[in-house]
Amino acid sequence: MRKTQDALHLECILTDQEKLAYSKTLSENVSKTARAEEALSSFQKQMKAEIASCEAQINMLAEKINTGKEYRMVECEIRYDFKMQEKKWIRSDTGEVAKQDIISEEELQEEMKLGAA
């Protein structure tokens, strides 16, 4: 038996209602796209900041490992030698001299007042 009906993909003129419905769907998709692009951009910025933070840590740690040292706050005892008019900062962790300077005029005056008392 021969076919008596078939469907073909043919051009059709849209009605005003169809145009309105497609326009609404188009507008919704434009808005969704804009929101998605904004979210993607925000996420990319966040991830780039996280990557930059990790890279900074990597560089800092690599520098410490390569040089075998880092700077830390170390308690020091200040020792005064009024005869030599100098003061020394002695590291509490190693006992080494960390810094050396001349005694200021103000400190000399204080010592003179203490010695006179």
| Total-model pTM | 0.57
pLDDT at position 115, please? Answer: 63
pLDDT at position 109, please? Answer: 81
Tokens of 54: 């990790």
pLDDT at position 111, please? Answer: 72
Cα(43)–Cα(59) distance, rounded to whole angstroms?
24
Instruction: Give Cβ neighbours of residue 77 (< 8 Å, ≥ 6 apart).
Output: 89, 90, 92
Residue with tokens 């209602």: 17
- Average pLDDT across the chain, whole number: 94
Percentage of the chain modeled with pLDDT above 70:
96
Confidence of residue 114 (pLDDT cuts 50, 70, 90): low
pLDDT (tens digit per residue) in 73-111: 999 999 999 889 999 999 999 999 999 999 988 888 877
Tokens of 2: 């021969």
Cα(110)–Cα(90) distance, rounded to whole angstroms?
22
- Give Rg (Cα) of the chain: 40
Number of H helices, E strands in the chain: 2, 3
pLDDT at position 55, please? Answer: 98
> Mean pLDDT, to the nearest integer, of 42-53?
98
